[in-house]
Amino acid sequence: MNPEFIRSLHDLLPQIQGYIYPNEIEIHWGLLIVVYPYITGVVAGAFILASLVKVFNVREVQPLYRLSLLTALAYLLVAPMALIAHLGHPERFYEILLTPQTSSAMAMFGFVYAWYLMAVLLLEVWFVHRTDMIAWAEQEKGVMRFIHRTLALYSRDTGERSVAFDHKALRVITIVGIPSAFLLHGYVGFIFGSIKANPWWSSVLIPIVFLFSAIVSGVALVILLYMIMTPLTGGKISMRCVDKAIDFLFYAVIVDFSLELVDFIHRVYQSEEEIKILSEMVMSKLFGSLIIVQVLLGMLIPLLLISLTKIFRKRFHLNDDLRKMVYFVAVILIQFGIFATRWNVVIGGQMFSKSFRGLTTYKMGFGGIEGLLFAILLLALPIVILAVLMKILPPWKEMHGEVVPEGMEVAGS
Amino acid sequence: MGKLFERFPDPLARLIVVVFALAIVGVVVVFGLIPKSMMDVNAQWASAVKREEARPIKYAGFHACAECHDKLYETKKKGYHRDLSCETCHGPAKAHTEDPDKVKPEIPAQRAFCPQCHAYDPSRPRGFPMINPVAHNPLKACASCHNPHDPKPPTTPKECSACHGEIARMKEVSHHVQLECTTCHDTPQQHKVSPRSVKPSKPQTREFCGKCHGKDAKDKMAKNAPKIDMAEHGEKYVCWQCHYPHSPEVEQ
Amino acid sequence: MNGRRTFLRGLLSVLLSGGAIGGILKILPSRADAREAPPKGQKWYGFGVSVDKCIGCARCMEACKTENNVPREPFFFRTWVERYIIRKNGATTVKAIEPNAEPSPEAASDKSILRSFFVPKLCNQCASPPCVQVCPVGATFQTKDGVVLVNEKTCIGCRYCIQACPYGARYLHPVTRTADKCTFCYHRISRGLLPACVEVCPTQARVFGDLNAAASPMSRFLRMNKIHVLKPGLNTEPKVYYANLDGEVR
């Protein structure tokens, strides 16, 4: 037994308010489980942004297409790490694949994940880059040539029939991909929403709220990455693209905010058994992360900022830099807001006792698997993976707007 | 083979090969490499049940002690502690049954032990025998007056409480503690012989309580009793419909 | 002749399809019933708690920790006892009692108490256990006799079951790093002994037995008392039954 862990529980004792069941003092799903839905949210959101181009034919955001696909892939690779790391027995994670219980939402993770990774993301990335990889390999030598050849599965066929098939496949995959992305993150919401023992989680709206906050976080993150990376790689930010993406973000935030508001009003109006302890929790332990960060900083202020650029259209549209600044601040705030959303769902759901008579406290560690450092590492890891992916499958041309898409064409061959 | 593939577009053909290869690897891993037992949840449950059943016990159970300690067991069977397991007080004794000489169960002789059950506690059910450990013969070991295997008050019980123990114990911690049962109940001697046919009296009127609790009660026992105006207080009811005489509630 | 054959064929197909639909309709409720009514002769364990008899002596908590090697620290309990104090102003305070705590004589003179009592808690061994439903690997399961167990060899420590338990009956064992909870002392009951907490309870506040038995302390308990279970609205169908439970108890 870890004496330090026991001591930390003793330290928590005086911080308990009211009565909690004696086994409830330890918060079992900590920072890692906050990180997990945040990451899968980014995956789903980034993918949905990508499908704007492919399915809904929004040409303005074409420069974000490959970037968002690669972002989704990079984050998806990290998602299971957070889950596995938090287990009491990480070395046994394979059990979930060997004896999955069909009644368990969590057991379905392996299958939803595998489906999304293999059948959707990898396929789409492959089809998008196939002709490019062939072209790159022609001009390259050594390792890169080998990598591109292998990744292209030694295909050299850039004939009309194959390219036509690429396009057809992409369309099908994206159409299958949208419900899959919904499934991936809606399912993460269902993991929480299906727990009838926990009134903070148990809500039919939770999967939908998760979905829309996922779209918000993914779109915002891709915009942020685009705005940072394009100047760094010597390109020019296409304001037409950013404006359009911000438009989508704006509506997504409004929908997300309304859904959460509906959920909130519904709870307060129904005012069931648990309302007392939940409102006490929101007003004390969650005040900072829920009211301040999630609602005020993460939603209302970004909404206000973006609306300003719309209301004072003339003024802002004359000055691209000012608009860029505003967008930049908005998408960063939104990232923090969505992370706080995840925090409030996961941690908030465990801070009140299921006896509805008291609150416990979450004390975040710094070191260790459940600590802050590891969480930051996990949050930084997708960026590293993304950098590697961009090295292998450079999206710069498209991001810099050098590729002029013709209809559904993905040029590069 | 080559001809077959030519019917598909090049990328599809290559993907089919990859998927096929992955499927073969998957099948080999699932059916060849992983032992069956790891995938059979029913077998896992069966072995978990076996493992659970095989855990060692620490508490031997109430029958085990009687085998050797038959005399004590017989004594205990007739007393108030008849439903208690020996191990309730003496602790886990499985080890003792296996090696009676080496492992001795504890004998909780210290004064702090009995009050764990018998100290007064407002949450304890009414009628449960409770004492105030501070006031109740301080510094004397419980066992010096009470035999734990046949606990009884050390003196001959008061006549009423021998049968009406629950009421007596309740009254003992109430404000009516000073009152004898006979203050309110006239008890014919015959009641002790045939308790059901000859019954003690019960007060019938409000005025009876008023002898002590009335505004101008004269009774010398009524000196500190709370007083009310009989004409105005609770007109329609008799006193015991609101106040339980054996444990009257107390004004704040 | 031909007409009759057609008619018979038609009748047969109607019967078959009707039977199929009826069969499907039957599956759903019968699945729900299956858990409540185990086959005759099969043991189906239950537990009774007489709230009015509990004196809060904590012998059960002690015995449980000893019998089942539960860590001694006050954060891990397979069973515990709560003290409820309901005051005249309506305020309710609850506390889990601590074993061997000194009695507080001043409580005797606390006149603001309206009523007060102890409530023993343990795993409810639900007939429809939410913990079993959510376990991703099937490490927690229900035995034939209705006891929910944890297979510590396959539990991955994801703690989903701890989240899903409405009663706070589960904890993560700090040594094995797997979920742990009351097993009705499965190793004892399978040897014909009583669970340790029932064994040591001095007032028979805890009763244990086979719910299918015709005459037993358990069936008498269910026959002679007004029974309640904890959080019945969650439809977990607990098999820990409470007699004289107060409405304040959650």
Chain segment A196-209, per-residue pLDDT in tens: 999 999 999 999 99
Q: What per-residue confidence (pLDDT) applies to B38? A: 86
B35 touches chain A (CB under 8 A): no
Rounded distance between C-alpha atoms, residue B214 and residue B225, angstroms: 9
Chain B residue with minimal CA distance to A122? B15
Q: What is the ipTM of this complex?
A: 0.90
Q: What are the Cα distances from residue A190, in Å, to A51, A337, B239?
A: 24, 21, 60
Beta bridge partners of C117: C84
Rounded distance between C-alpha atoms, residue C48 and residue C54, angstroms: 12
| Interface touch A89/C178, C-beta < 8 Å | yes
pLDDT class for C1, splitting at 50, 70, 90? very low
B127 touches chain C (CB under 8 A): no
Say which residue, B178 or C191, is predicted with more confidence: C191
Q: What per-residue confidence (pLDDT) applies to C3? A: 59
Q: What is the pLDDT of residues C52-105, one digit of tens each?
A: 999 999 999 999 999 999 999 999 999 999 999 999 998 999 999 987 666 555
CA distance B128 to chain C (A): 8
User: Percentage of chain C surpassing pLDDT 90?
Assistant: 71
- List of chain B residues whose C-beta atoms are within 8 Å of the C-beta of residue A164: 9
Q: Is the pLDDT of residue C237 over 90?
A: yes
| Interface touch A162/B9, C-beta < 8 Å | yes
Chain A residue with minimal CA distance to C138? A101
Nearest to C180 by CA among C17, C71, C53, C88: C71
- List of chain C residues whose C-beta atoms are within 8 Å of the C-beta of residue A5: 174
Say which residue, B87 or C15, is predicted with more confidence: B87
pLDDT class for C29, splitting at 50, 70, 90? very low
- Cβ atoms within 10 Å of C120's Cβ, excluding its own: 25
Say which residue, C34 or C165, is predicted with more confidence: C165
Q: Is the pLDDT of residue A90 over 90?
A: yes
| Interface touch A155/B11, C-beta < 8 Å | yes
Chain C residue with minimal CA distance to A6? C73
B138 touches chain C (CB under 8 A): no
Give the distance, in angstroms, between the CA of residue B21 and the centroid of all CA atoms in the same chain.
66
Q: Up-side HSE of residue C48: CA atoms within 13 Å toward CB?
A: 25
Say which residue, C5 or B192, is predicted with more confidence: B192
Say which residue, A298 or B128, is predicted with more confidence: A298
Q: Which of C136, C157, C164 is nearest residue A89 as measured by Cβ atoms?
A: C157
| Interface touch C167/A106, C-beta < 8 Å | no
Q: What per-residue confidence (pLDDT) applies to C103? A: 57
| Interface touch A162/B11, C-beta < 8 Å | yes
Q: Mean pLDDT in chain A?
A: 90
DSSP conformation letters of B134-197: TTSSTTS-GGGT--TTS---SSPPPTTTTT-HHHHHHHHTSTTTTS-HHHH----THHHHSTTT
| Interface touch A19/C158, C-beta < 8 Å | no
CA distance C51 to chain B (A): 9
CB A177 within 8 A of CB A47: yes
| Interface touch C168/A2, C-beta < 8 Å | no
- List of chain B residues whose C-beta atoms are within 8 Å of the C-beta of residue A160: none
- List of chain A residues whose C-beta atoms are within 8 Å of the C-beta of residue B12: 165, 169
Chain C residue with minimal CA distance to B55? C187
Q: What per-residue confidence (pLDDT) applies to C176? A: 94
Q: Which of C94, C133, C165 is nearest residue A355 as measured by Cβ atoms?
A: C94
When scoring B53, B59, B249 by the number of chain C Cβ atoms within 10 A, the one with the most, hence best to mutate, is B59
B38 touches chain A (CB under 8 A): yes
Rounded distance between C-alpha atoms, residue A26 and residue C172, angstroms: 9
CB C156 within 8 A of CB A87: yes
| Interface touch B11/A127, C-beta < 8 Å | yes
Chain C residue with minimal CA distance to A353? C168
Chain C residue with minimal CA distance to B94? C67
| Interface touch A21/C96, C-beta < 8 Å | yes
| Interface touch C141/B48, C-beta < 8 Å | yes
| Interface touch C203/B83, C-beta < 8 Å | yes
- List of chain A residues whose C-beta atoms are within 8 Å of the C-beta of residue B38: 98-99
Mean pLDDT is lowest, of A317-331, A367-381, B135-149, B150-164, for B150-164
Rounded distance between C-alpha atoms, residue A64 and residue A399, angstroms: 6
- Cβ atoms within 10 Å of C4's Cβ, excluding its own: 8
When scoring A36, A89, A354, A370 by the number of chain C Cβ atoms within 10 A, the one with the most, hence best to mutate, is A89
- List of chain C residues whose C-beta atoms are within 8 Å of the C-beta of residue A27: none
| Interface touch B123/C201, C-beta < 8 Å | no
pLDDT class for C31, splitting at 50, 70, 90? very low
Q: Is the pLDDT of residue C34 over 50?
A: no
B15 touches chain A (CB under 8 A): yes
Q: Which of A86, A349, A356 is nearest residue C250 as measured by Cβ atoms?
A: A356
Question: Best-predicted range by mean pLDDT among A129-143, A355-369, C25-39, C146-160?
Answer: C146-160
| pLDDT tens, residue order, chain B (252 aa) | 556 667 788 888 899 999 999 999 999 998 888 888 888 999 999 999 999 999 999 999 888 998 899 899 889 888 888 889 999 999 999 999 999 999 999 999 888 899 899 988 888 887 788 887 887 888 888 888 889 998 876 654 456 876 677 788 888 888 888 888 888 998 887 787 667 778 889 898 888 888 888 888 877 777 788 888 888 887 778 888 888 888 887 654
B42 touches chain A (CB under 8 A): no
C98 touches chain B (CB under 8 A): no
Residue C21 amino acid letter: I
Q: Give the per-residue SS3 of chain A.
A: CCHHHHHHHHHHHHHCEECCCHHHCCCCCCHHHHHHHHHHHHHHHHHHHHHHHHCCCCHHHHHHHHHHHHHHHHHHHHHHHHHHHHCCCHHHCCHHHHCCCCCCCCCCHHHHHHHHHHHHHHHHHHHHHHHHHHHHHHHCCHHHHHHHHHHCCCCCCCCHHHHHHHHHHHHHHHHHHHHHHHHHHHHHHHHHHCCCCCCCCCCCHHHHHHHHHHHHHHHHHHHHHHHHHHHHCCCCCCHHHHHHHHHHHHHHHHHHHHHHHHHHHHHHHHCCCCHHHHHHHHHCCCHHHHHHHHHHHHHHHHHHHHHHHHHCHHHHHHCHHHHHHHHHHHHHHHHHHHHHHHHHHHCHHHHECCCCCEECCCCCCCCCCCCHHHHHHHHHHHHHHHHHHHHHCCCHHHHCCCCCCCCCCCCCC
Q: Is the pLDDT of residue C17 over 60?
A: no
C248 touches chain B (CB under 8 A): no
Q: Is the pLDDT of residue C175 over 50?
A: yes
- List of chain A residues whose C-beta atoms are within 8 Å of the C-beta of residue B39: 98-99
Nearest to C70 by CA among C78, C60, C82, C59: C78
Q: Which of B61, B123, B132 is nearest residue C56 as measured by Cβ atoms?
A: B123
User: Percentage of chain A surpassing pLDDT 70?
Assistant: 97
Q: Which of residues 145-174 of C touch A (CB under 8 A)?
A: 154-160, 162-172, 174
CA distance B73 to chain C (A): 15
Q: What is the pLDDT of residues A19-32, one digit of tens each?
A: 999 999 999 999 99
Q: What is the DSSP letter of C117?
A: E
Q: What per-residue confidence (pLDDT) applies to B153? A: 67
Mean pLDDT is lowest, of A5-14, A234-243, C34-43, C186-195, for C34-43
Q: What per-residue confidence (pLDDT) applies to B119? A: 87
Phi, psi of C205 (to 5 degrees): -70, -25
Phi, psi of B58 (to 5 degrees): -115, -35
Counting beta carbons within 10 angstroms of the beta carbon of residue A45, is it exposed (0 to 12), middle (13 to 18) or buried (19 or more)? Answer: buried
Q: Which of C108, C151, C202 is nearest residue B117 as measured by Cβ atoms?
A: C202
C210 touches chain B (CB under 8 A): no
Mean pLDDT is lowest, of A129-133, A223-227, A366-370, C125-129, for A366-370
- List of chain B residues whose C-beta atoms are within 8 Å of the C-beta of residue A165: 9-12
Q: Is the pLDDT of residue C21 over 60?
A: no
Q: What per-residue confidence (pLDDT) applies to A373? A: 94
B46 touches chain A (CB under 8 A): no
Q: Is the pLDDT of residue C140 over 50?
A: yes
When scoring C124, C137, C154, C167 by the number of chain A Cβ atoms within 10 A, the one with the most, hence best to mutate, is C137
What are chain A's partners, defined as 3 or more CB pairs within 8 angstroms? B, C
| Interface touch B44/A153, C-beta < 8 Å | no
- Cβ atoms within 10 Å of C2's Cβ, excluding its own: 6
Q: Compute the average pLDDT of residues A96-107.
A: 89
Chain B residue with minimal CA distance to C202? B84
pLDDT class for C200, splitting at 50, 70, 90? very high
User: Percentage of chain A surpassing pLDDT 90?
Assistant: 69
Q: Which of B47, B59, B133 is nearest residue C199 as measured by Cβ atoms?
A: B59
